[in-house]
Chains A and B, each alone.
Chain A
Amino acid sequence: MSTNQQPVFIALQANNDTLPIIEAIQSDNPLAVVHEYPAMVKIDAPGRLVIKRTSIEERIGRAFDLREIQINLISLSGELDETEDEITLQWRDIP
């Protein structure tokens, strides 16, 4: 697990489809801060941010493919790792 605390972020379009995704992210990332801008939501977190498929599915009421996030994604920072179950953004350790 990286100890690098440099900020990562994800930015999503602010619409009906992203409400459950944003809620899921807040629930799974207690240190994340949500900023609202016109038509956009930017979520900052120190070091690491994780998006869990099951957390979204709980809120959305159907099966969810994490790749669907691409439809409403605006931008992100940090190194991305993607599996069926989780998307993780984080910076690796500085040696």
Chain B
Amino acid sequence: MSNPQSPPKKLTLKENYALLTRGLGWEPSYEAQDDIFPMVKFEGIKIHDWEKWEDPFRLTMDAYWKYQGEKERKLYAIIDAFQQNNGQFNVSDARYLQALKVFITGVTGLEYASHRGFNILGREFPGVGPRIAAQMQSIDELRHAQTQIHALSHYNKYFAGMSEFPHMFDRTWYLSIPKSFFEDAVTSGPFEFITAISFAFEYVLTNLVFMPWMSGAAYNGDMSTVSFGFSAQSDEARHMTLGIEVIKFLLEQDPANVPIVQGWIDKWFWRGYRLLTLLAAMMDYMLPKRVMAWKEAWEIYFEQNGGALFADLARYGIRMPKYWEVTVKEKSHVSHQLWCIFYQFRHAAGFPVWLPSEEEMTWLSAQYPDTFDKYYRPRYEHWRELERQGKPFVNATLPQLCQTCQWPLLFTEPDDPTQICYRETTYRGDKFHFCSDGCKDIFCDAPEKYVHAHLPVHQIYQGTYFNAGVNPGAPDFNPLVEALKYMGINPGVDGGDFATHVDAINWTRWTNKPANMHEPGAQGLGAAPKDKVG
């Protein structure tokens, strides 16, 4: 064996990683490769040499545990301190808390689904390198789901609308948007999944979720969330490098892969972009202290950053994603259009909604000089007037949902913001509706997949949205109230107007600060204080 006299060779990081990792796998002899890895051919992707996979971060397990353990130690120390000091009372105002509800009900489920999706890749990819990368990402996503729950746990003890987050994720009408997004990814094949999530979502779009959002949390005094966010984002750096590595690997393995991958990039850029509309409204309307406008974030993180990325990929024959120009046209509109929808349907939301104040509309005007005063201020001023008259506007019907992205059809034509964008197609005798060309194309490329989608509004109309033990034939059966209960929303409590909401009342009582810093006198207008809890 080796000569004890000569000292052991000193290994570089790369050499150490290669020795500890490469060569762990082997060509099977006793069972067929295709039986061991049955999932990697059906998508038409051709891989000739899995060994060509480059591991950019080269983390051995001992290093993973060491650095992740260190991050967790620091993060939980902050979460503990936050809880001990009741940090939830230090945020800017109680409207900020409503954004957290969207986070725990909408985003936590995504992290968990992502974890499960990477579990599959961690087993089904034939190469050691990609399998390990997927496994590490899987457990990172579990980390995100769980640290989010823990970071927000203390808020749940004091404020409404968070307590039923997993129940809501599976049933609430606006949460079918994130649920269907990730279920679409995980039910796809492994190569589509990794293109969709590691590349399109984690690389192209993730900065839009975390960077401005976590800065927003910091601006609004939410130490728990900002700590979670920045700590999670460091994992994202590894995920992003996986995303760019995987896309290059697929494109370099065989030219036949290029058009397949381009198709997936087109689909998942569009689905991811639609999902992020939720963020647009949160940034522009729900943060009492705003960091930047959605428009600006889109310009920095997609138009500039994304532009650089796709310039780099052009050498493989990859172009910018289909309909990217639409996203640029929409950037001055989507956040306002979405907030208008939530305002109209606030009685059916899991959180209360409010109209922007004069001061906030001044900011919105400045950020959106071409669109806000022309298209959206007049609406808010009209609704404000109706509120003053004691006739607040509520939309009494249910919104038509897009079959693909499951948003209400609230988006307007890219070149005409006065016209709602309607698209439709007929498939096997049924008519399907879409919010955009992007969503219609996704459906038409794989209609058999999308016909199964569970659209909550359709389910309400079909009469399936009520809890076990409730009698729909009873004379006092109220389908909307029962649908809300089914969704995990407390009718008349969780949603509605912010000023009279239990969170606003409690906030003022507990902190002696205004629930809405932009309208300090507004609380409890005409309403009795809410002693009822939960």
Q: How far is the CB of B110 from chain A (nearest CB, A)?
A: 18
Find chain B residues with CB under 8 A from A91 CB. 308, 311-312
Question: Smallest CB-CB separation from B73: which chain A residue?
Answer: A71
Per-position 1/0 for B350-394, Cβ under 8 A of A: 000000000000000000000000000000000000000000000
Q: By the criterion CB–CB under 8 Å, are B13 and A83 in contact?
A: yes
Q: By the criterion CB–CB under 8 Å, are B13 and A79 in contact?
A: no
- On whether A74 and B234 interact (CB within 8 A), knowing A40-B215, A82-B56, A82-B57, the answer reads yes
- Asked if B273 is an interface residue, CB under 8 A from chain A, the answer is no
The listed residue with most A CB atoms (<10 A of its CB), out of B13, B56, B237, is B237
Question: Smallest CB-CB separation from A66: which chain B residue?
Answer: B13
Q: How far is the CB of B236 from chain A (nearest CB, A)?
A: 6
Which A residues from 39 to 76 make CB contacts under 8 A with B?
Answer: 39-40, 67-68, 70-76
Q: By the criterion CB–CB under 8 Å, are A38 and B234 in contact?
A: no
Q: By the criterion CB–CB under 8 Å, are B291 and A75 in contact?
A: no
Cα separation A91 to B310 with both chains bound (whole Å): 11
Q: By the criterion CB–CB under 8 Å, are B218 and A38 in contact?
A: yes
Q: By the criterion CB–CB under 8 Å, are B234 and A80 in contact?
A: no
**Stretch in contact with the other chain, from B206-214, B263-271, B433-441, B474-482:** B206-214
Question: Smallest CB-CB separation from B312: which chain A residue?
Answer: A91
Cα separation A75 to B206 with both chains bound (whole Å): 10
Q: How far is the CB of A75 from chain B (nearest CB, A)?
A: 5
Question: Smallest CB-CB separation from B203: which chain A residue?
Answer: A77
Cα separation A82 to B241 with both chains bound (whole Å): 12
Q: By the criterion CB–CB under 8 Å, are A39 and B234 in contact?
A: no
Q: By the criterion CB–CB under 8 Å, are A38 and B291 in contact?
A: yes
Q: By the criterion CB–CB under 8 Å, are A6 and B312 in contact?
A: yes
Chain B interface, DSSP helix/strand/loop, else mixed? helix
Cα separation A81 to B13 with both chains bound (whole Å): 12
- Which residue of B206, B234, B309 is within 8 Å of A73 (Cβ)? B234
- On whether A80 and B56 interact (CB within 8 A), knowing A6-B312, A38-B291, A74-B233, the answer reads yes
Find chain A residues with CB under 8 A from B291 CB. 37-38
Q: By the criterion CB–CB under 8 Å, are A40 and B308 in contact?
A: no
- Which residue of A11, A77, A82 is within 8 Å of B13 (Cβ)? A82
- Asked if B150 is an interface residue, CB under 8 A from chain A, the answer is no
Find chain B residues with CB under 8 A from A7 CB. 304-305, 308
Q: By the criterion CB–CB under 8 Å, are B234 and A94 in contact?
A: no
Find chain B residues with CB under 8 A from A79 CB. 56, 241, 244
Q: By the criterion CB–CB under 8 Å, are B234 and A70 in contact?
A: yes
Find chain B residues with CB under 8 A from A40 CB. 211, 214-215, 218, 230
Number of interface residues of B (CB under 8 A): 40
- Asked if B74 is an interface residue, CB under 8 A from chain A, the answer is yes
Cα separation A40 to B305 with both chains bound (whole Å): 18
Find chain A residues with CB under 8 A from B57 CB. 80, 82
Cα separation A38 to B223 with both chains bound (whole Å): 11
- Asked if B470 is an interface residue, CB under 8 A from chain A, the answer is no
- Asked if A95 is an interface residue, CB under 8 A from chain B, the answer is yes
Cα separation A84 to B10 with both chains bound (whole Å): 12
Q: By the criterion CB–CB under 8 Å, are A11 and B71 in contact?
A: no
Number of interface residues of A (CB under 8 A): 29
- Asked if B446 is an interface residue, CB under 8 A from chain A, the answer is no
- Asked if B63 is an interface residue, CB under 8 A from chain A, the answer is yes
Question: Smallest CB-CB separation from A95: which chain B residue?
Answer: B315
- Asked if A13 is an interface residue, CB under 8 A from chain B, the answer is yes
Which A residues from 18 to 51 make CB contacts under 8 A with B?
Answer: 37-40
- On whether A73 and B237 interact (CB within 8 A), knowing A38-B291, A40-B218, A82-B13, the answer reads yes
Q: By the criterion CB–CB under 8 Å, are A11 and B211 in contact?
A: yes
Q: How far is the CB of B202 from chain A (nearest CB, A)?
A: 11
Question: Smallest CB-CB separation from A74: which chain B residue?
Answer: B233
Cα separation A7 to B300 with both chains bound (whole Å): 11
Which B residues from 462 to 515 make CB contacts under 8 A with A?
Answer: none
Q: By the criterion CB–CB under 8 Å, are B13 and A94 in contact?
A: no
Q: By the criterion CB–CB under 8 Å, are B312 and A13 in contact?
A: no
Per-position 1/0 for B163-185, Cβ under 8 A of A: 00000000000000000000000
Cα separation A22 to B90 with both chains bound (whole Å): 30
Cα separation A77 to B304 with both chains bound (whole Å): 11
- Asked if B427 is an interface residue, CB under 8 A from chain A, the answer is no
- Asked if A3 is an interface residue, CB under 8 A from chain B, the answer is no
- Asked if B12 is an interface residue, CB under 8 A from chain A, the answer is yes
- Asked if B314 is an interface residue, CB under 8 A from chain A, the answer is yes
14 A-B contacts (beta carbon < 8 Å): A6-B312, A38-B226, A39-B230, A70-B237, A70-B238, A74-B211, A77-B308, A77-B309, A82-B13, A91-B311, A94-B311, A94-B312, A94-B315, A95-B315
List the 10 shortest-distance A-B pairs measured between CB atoms, nearest first.
Answer: A38-B218, A6-B308, A39-B218, A73-B234, A74-B233, A95-B315, A37-B215, A13-B230, A70-B67, A73-B237
- What residues of chain B have their CB less than 8 Å away from a CB belonging to chain A? 12-14, 56-59, 63, 67, 70-71, 74, 206-207, 210-211, 214-215, 218-219, 226, 230, 233-234, 236-238, 240-241, 244, 291, 304-305, 307-309, 311-312, 314-315
Given A70-B238, A84-B13, output 10 extra A-B contacts at Cβ < 8 Å.
Answer: A6-B312, A11-B211, A37-B218, A38-B219, A39-B214, A67-B63, A73-B234, A74-B214, A75-B210, A75-B211
